[in-house]
Amino acid sequence: MAVMQQVTTVSSAQSSGNWSTGLCDCFTDMETCCCGTWCFPCMQCQTVSQFGWCCLYPVLDSSCMVVSCLFRQSMRDRYGIQGSFCDDCCMLCFCYPCVWCQMSREVKRQAQRGGTTTVIAQQVVS
């Protein structure tokens, strides 16, 4: 007898199509601002972990911004935020720390609103 397991993430977040905070709204969440200033890699790892990704993905981003661009697009898709991959990459090129702080604030706000639920379904296959 084999047990088959399927994991599904369901988004229950309501979004207006915009980020909940602006790119330079660091003072709306001083904890994130301070963490981004003094321990930026820790903030990155914590943000992706809270989002449900492996906490080590930001480490792969050291030479290029591919992971950051993919992460931002994934956030926009999950939370229903408007934008494009090209916009994400341009913003990351010019405002890398500010973009990461904005993404961190968004993950926190979505978690406070009850942003996502993970459903695990098991099926016994004989």
HEC profile for 66-111? HHHHHHHHHHHHHHCCCCCHHHHHHHHHHHHHHHHHHHHHHHHHHH
pLDDT of residue 113: 84
Residue with tokens 């990461």: 100
Whether pLDDT at 125 is above 80: no
Q: What confidence score (pLDDT) does residue 78 get?
A: 95
Averaged pLDDT of the chain:
84
Q: Given a cut of 60, is residue 18 above it in pLDDT?
A: yes
Distances (CA, A) of 80 to 2, 48, 57, 84, 97: 37, 18, 22, 12, 22
pLDDT 10s digits, 45-90? 999 999 999 999 988 887 678 999 999 999 999 999 999 999 999 9
3 state DSSP class of 98: helix
| Predicted pLDDT of residue 112 | 87
Q: Mean pLDDT, to the nearest integer, of 25-38? A: 90
In Å, how far from its chain's centre is CA 82?
15
The amino acid at residue 5 is: Q
